[in-house]
A and B are shown apart, each in its own frame.
Chain A
Amino acid sequence: MSTAEVVTTGLLLVFGLLILITGVLYVLPLILNLPARLLSQKKAKKVASVPTLAETDASGIPGEIIAAIMAAITAEEEAQGVPYGNFRVVSFKKIGRKAR
């Protein structure tokens, strides 16, 4: 082999092999984390399928009560191991009691 052939082939193959290994290293975390990501996606879908409160008129309810209810829902979800914080309160409706 001529000098040019040795140098060109050598450099191309060294770079080529190391680029290949670089690619494998970039893909590796994605492959290894795939089961965990699929699992979290499934849980997110379950949370999304829980119906949100129907939109009704919520005027007149103090903000502290709304905050307390949200905290209670979050605590319950955390206890059940569901990723919490995936809900949004749209409105509240009072039922079962006459207004004072």
Chain B
Amino acid sequence: MSILYTLKDIFMESGFYAIFADFTGSGWKVLVMLGIACVLLYLAIVKKFEPLLLLPIAFGMLLANLPGAAMFHEEIFAGGHVHWQMFAGSNPEIVPGLLDYLYLGVKLGIYPCLIFLGIGCMTDFGPLIANPSSLLLGAAAQLGIFLTYIGAKFLGFTSAESGAIGIIGGADGPTAILTSSILAPHLLGAIAVAAYSYMALVPVIQPPIMRLLTTKKERSIRMTQLRTVSKTEKIVFPIAVTLLVSLLLPSAAPLVGMLMLGNLLKESGVCERLVKTASDSLMNIVVIFLGTTVGATATADRFLTFQTLGIIVLGVVAFSMGTAGGVLFGKLMCVMTKGRINPLIGAAGVSAVPMAARVAQKVGQEENADNYLLMHAMGPNVAGVIGSAIAAGLLISMLG
């Protein structure tokens, strides 16, 4: 009989019991979240939607929504702060788990900066240096961020929440995660899922907008070959950008500084071991920790709200507006340069590197198969990374 009682006790502590004992209360929400996690896993594995991040995010969501597993405790990070005393055991009912410790890297802004270090090591700013006007296209694409901010305010979000949602328009995952972890940590899970899902949908979202806003003649414009950029220029560039941006806007220093540090390590040519580590092992470790812990914040209470629906709708608005802003500015530059710039490269100003540049090339080749826009589009594409980091620093500074 004691065996039966023991089995009964074990069953009553199980997740199945927790779900069905209170099915109409929180049980159905758990099942929905587990279902959503499985859908995201399908998108990541089968449809290959940004799998490097979406898979850990989806699995983190799955782990955090398992009743009784207690791998992540929202109470430790309630109110947007870290309650350090809970790590020391101040509340005997809350024993910090693995994901609580790993989440500190998100909360303290460490992981996004380390990812930017790796991105800097993998980025070639040559096309941007060869054609500095690409920076203006990168700036124009950030229009999506601020227009989405307006839309979010209209839907009733607070200023800080609107800023965190607007940054989805920057099409930059680490930037979105850093900004929302500071401005609206309770929306982090939804924002991260929206940001990475839409980044994977760039080849679907952008082309119709690009065709709508340009003429066939504009899309056929062939651009002259870019000049050769010297090694000295490539070395001076990250130092100059870091000094300029960080002195004028200190809140953008963490992201821009780490991006430029990674790039300087690469371009200097004297730190190959560091470049290899930063762009490979370190980045992979951070991506695993970041993705899993960000997904873990998407608990049923936070995710299954009308706010999440609003974020999903605003996310597609953000991407669309960013694309439109870049293309329209590209048209303006086309007129000012008397047809020397193809407006399609403006769409690459959203910083989904190199996906957006490839989309510009593909749409351009639909009109003229001999038109190679990829390297020209890489300029605005990497400029968008700098632009979205600056926009994030501004939003954090103004709204944080």
Contact = CB atoms under 8 A, between A and B. Distances in A.
A68 interface: no
A13 B143 contact: no
Given A6-B398, A32-B232, A18 B135 contact: yes
A29 B386 CA distance: 21
A9 interface: yes
Contacts of A25: 128-129, 132, 135, 237
A34 to B, nearest CB: 12
B136 to A, nearest CB: 6
B159 A6 contact: yes
Contacts of B146: 6-7, 10-11
Nearest to B146: A7
Interface string B124-168: 000011001101101100110111011001000001000100000
B230 A14 contact: no
- Interface majority SS on A: helix, strand, loop or mixed? helix
Contacts of A11: 142-143, 146
Contact of A21 (B230, B233, B241): B241
Contact of B240 (A9, A13, A26, A28): A28
Given A6-B159, A11-B143, A32-B233, A18 B394 contact: no
A9 B145 CA distance: 13
Q: Is the contact region of chain B dominated by helix, strand, or loop, or is it mixed?
A: helix
B236 interface: yes
A22 interface: yes
A61 to B, nearest CB: 45
A13 B159 contact: no
B132 A14 contact: no
Contacts of B383: 18
A72 B135 CA distance: 51
A17 B248 contact: yes
A73 interface: no
Contacts of B147: 7
B399 A6 contact: yes
Given A22-B133, A25-B132, A14 B150 contact: no
Contact of A32 (B135, B145, B230, B244): B230
A26 B132 contact: yes
A67 interface: no
Contacts of B139: 14-15, 18-19
Given A13-B394, A14-B390, A21-B135, A29 B233 contact: yes
B204 interface: no
Contacts of B244: 17, 20-21, 24
B199 interface: no
Interface in B243-281: 244-245, 248-249
A10 B391 contact: yes
The 5 closest A-B pairs by CB, nearest first: A25-B132, A18-B139, A18-B135, A22-B132, A7-B146
Interface of A: 1, 3, 6-7, 9-11, 13-15, 17-22, 24-26, 28-29, 32
Given A21-B132, A22-B135, A29-B230, 11 more contacts: A3-B149, A3-B150, A6-B149, A7-B150, A14-B391, A17-B249, A18-B383, A18-B387, A21-B241, A28-B237, A32-B232
